[in-house]
């Protein structure tokens, strides 16, 4: 879709390496959703978007392929989509995932509803990444926000 079949397969293997019992079909679904997510971010600069915890696993795989990821962001015509990890399920903000799925739909794709659940949902698949983006850690294709001053 947005990367070559060879690069897609390599990203799927990265997901499977981090999740040893994951079938290849599931890894492919996760990487596909991560590609949709990056495209949505690229086309919606400054809008707070975030992946589900499952989709974030695929985004991590894309990020590990640094040259390909850089080229992907350039191809999409937007700014480089940076990743600022964070994990605190108590600050889960459902509207951020709704906005992200809507941004994906605006690009003409359907978001896989099984892979876009809340951070605590592990009924379909459990992933290795402990990374769920919350409002304070909103993904934006722009410089990282300054951390709060702790006094």
Per residue in 51-110, pLDDT (tens digit) is 888 999 999 999 999 999 999 999 988 778 888 776 666 666 778 889 999 999 999 999
Q: How confident is the model at residue 124 (pLDDT cuts 50, 70, 90)?
A: low
Number of domains in the chain: 1
**Is 115 within the bounds of a domain?**
yes
**Is 88 within the bounds of a domain?**
yes
**Is 145 within the bounds of a domain?**
no
pLDDT, residue 81, reads 87
**Is 55 within the bounds of a domain?**
yes
**Is 151 within the bounds of a domain?**
no
Task: Find where tokens 């191809």 sit.
Answer: 75
pLDDT, residue 121, reads 63
Per residue in 28-38, pLDDT (tens digit) is 999 999 999 99
**Is 147 within the bounds of a domain?**
no
- State how far the Cα of 40 lies from the Cα of 17, in Å rounded to an integer: 26
**Is 69 within the bounds of a domain?**
yes
pTM for the whole structure: 0.81
Q: Exposed/middle/buried for 49, CB within 10 Å: 0-12, 13-18, 19+?
A: buried
**Is 76 within the bounds of a domain?**
yes
Report helix, strand or coil for 51.
coil
Nearest by Cα to 133 from 78, 86, 100: 86
pLDDT, residue 89, reads 61
Give the bridge partners for 49, in sequence order.
139
pLDDT, residue 135, reads 41
Residues of the domain holding 60: 5-137
């Amino acid at each position: 879709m947005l990367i070559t079949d060879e690069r897609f397969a390599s990203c799927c293997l990265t997901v499977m390496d981090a999740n040893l019992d994951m079938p290849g079909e599931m890894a492919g679904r996760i990487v596909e959703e991560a590609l949709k997510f990056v495209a949505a971010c690229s086309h919606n600069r400054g809008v707070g978007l975030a992946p589900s915890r499952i989709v974030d696993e695929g985004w991590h795989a894309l990020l590990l392929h640094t040259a390909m990821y850089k080229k992907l962001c350039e191809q999409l015509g937007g700014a480089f989509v940076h990743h600022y990890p964070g994990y605190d399920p108590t600050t889960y903000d459902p509207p951020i995932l709704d906005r992200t799925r809507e941004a994906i739909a605006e690009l003409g794709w359907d978001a896989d509803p099984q892979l876009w659940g809340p951070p605590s949902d592990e009924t379909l698949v459990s992933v290795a990444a402990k990374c769920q983006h919350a409002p304070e850690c909103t993904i934006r294709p722009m410089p990282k926000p300054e951390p709060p001053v702790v006094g």
